[in-house]
Amino acid sequence: MKLVILDRDGVINEDSDDFIKTLDEFILLPGSLEAIKRLKQAGYQVVVATNQSGIARGYLTLDTLNAMHDKLNVLLADIGVNIDGFFYCPHGPDDGCECRKPKPGLYQQISQQFNVALEGVPVIGDSLRDLEAARAVGAKPILVRTGKGRRTLAAGKGLEDVPVYENLAEAVDALVKASH
């Protein structure tokens, strides 16, 4: 099975330092729907793994988060595809959970649910914690410049052997080309 893991905020949709709290704030980045469709057409299962500490902080409810994911899947259904799974950490940074990236718990959940080893699985993210969590499970970290990606690049740490692309569409183009 071919699998790819996508971070959400800053990769698929716009990010905000003030959190994505409402359905109206859940705005897709240009080209992200089409990029996901190209992944699906290339035979990939596509899952989303996202830290959502806004839930623990009281900024949004689980119902609002689910409505955002439903909106994404409705828009994808309009072009004939879907996300195969949404995995999220609802905890705050001080909760000591194992699922908040950079810890690998979310990715381990994906591995268990899909019964697949994550060695070499592409993980596309915009922050160092996405890359660190990917490395922790042997996955292949990929950075995009959207969202917090430019800040991550500017910090310059933890980027050894990490391919960098302008956005999700460019990263997907490279992945699909390499898989043929």
Q: Which residues are catalytic?
A: 7, 9
**DSSP H or E run through 86:** strand 85-89
Distance, CA of 83 to CA of 92 (rounded, Å): 25
Q: How many residues are there in the chain?
A: 180
| β-pair type (85-89, 122-125) | unpaired
Q: Count Cβ atoms below 10 Å from residue 60 Cβ, excluding itself.
A: 21
Cα dihedral 129, 135, 137, 139 sign: positive
Return the structure tokens found at 106. Answer: 């979310």
| β-pair type (122-125, 164-165) | unpaired
Looking at this protein, which amino acid is placed at residue 174?
Answer: A
**DSSP H or E run through 37:** helix 32-41
